[in-house]
Amino acid sequence: MTNTLKQFENTPLPSELVADLRSDHAGETGAVAIYGGILAVSRDPEVRRFAEAHRETERVHLAFFEEWMPGSTHSRLLPVWRAAGWSLGAFSALFGRNSVYRTIAAVETFVEKHYEEQIDKMEGNPEFAALTDKLKAFCAEEVEHRDDAAGRLSPPSGVAARFWSRIVGTGSSVGVALARRI
């Protein structure tokens, strides 16, 4: 089964690639919402500057997918991704800056792997070179977010921190699996 996206009107995309891109769009929707949740709760000026700066990058990513993909290919669970993202950001902000930075580092660690898997699938296919380049650029920016967050973390990181990171990573994985299908 194939589908066509706006930028590939004459090139049908494999349904697996459409599913990957749907999950990317859903993920960027959630990412913008995460930062919105952080900003709704945190009054820490450092955290707010961090969230505002990174939210702008996520908005650029989201705008690309919004413009590039027809609405019919978007996840039907976008309200869930917005609510889940906002809740994750707000919840982490309740526990202070270390919690925010740990959450972002965990999310972006997952996102890097997610984008890299897609890039690997498309690598070497000239029809998808422009899309591959765009995803590489997005992935690099997500890695910058992860590294920025990780660099701001205060030691120590104990069992609770590792557990939280695992929960965030697992939640991200479940979100992608659902967004690919719905």
**118-144 pLDDT per residue, tens:** 999 988 888 888 889 999 999 999 999
pLDDT tens digits, one per residue of 42-64: 999 999 999 999 999 999 999 99
Q: What is the CATH number of the domain that holds 139?
A: 1.20.1260
DSSP state letters, 2-40: EE--GGGTTSPEEHHHHHHHHHHHHHHHHHHHHHHHHHH
Q: What is the mean pLDDT of the chain?
A: 91
Return the pLDDT at 72.
86
Please determine, for residue 2, whether its predicted confidence score (pLDDT) is greater than 50: no
Does residue 73 form part of some domain? yes
Return the pLDDT at 155.
77
* Closest residue by Cα to residue 155 from 91, 98, 97: 98
| Angle (nearest 5°) at CA 170 between 50 and 137 | 50
- Cβ atoms of residues 112 and 142 within 8 Å: yes
- Cβ atoms of residues 150 and 105 within 8 Å: yes
Residue partners of 6: CB distance under 8 A and separation at least 6: 67, 68, 69, 70
Report the half-sphere exposure of 39 (CA within 13 A, side-chain side): 15
Return the pLDDT at 4.
47
In order of 34, 115, 134, 147, 178, the CA distances from 19 in angstroms are 22, 13, 17, 28, 10
For 77-86, what is the mean pLDDT?
Answer: 96
Does residue 75 form part of some domain? yes
Return the top range by mean pLDDT from 17-26, 27-36, 160-169.
27-36
Please determine, for residue 109, whether its predicted confidence score (pLDDT) is greater than 90: yes
CB atoms within 10 A of CB 174: 11
Question: How many distinct structural domains can be found in the chain?
Answer: 1
- Rounded to the nearest 10 degrees, the angle between the axes of helix 129-152 and helix 97-122 is 160
Does residue 4 form part of some domain? no
Does residue 3 form part of some domain? no
pLDDT tens digits, one per residue of 139-172: 999 999 999 999 999 876 789 888 999 999 999 9
Does residue 7 form part of some domain? no
- Cβ atoms of residues 34 and 85 within 8 Å: yes
Q: Can you give the residue range of the structural domain that contains 137?
A: 13-181
For 13-25, what is the mean pLDDT?
Answer: 90
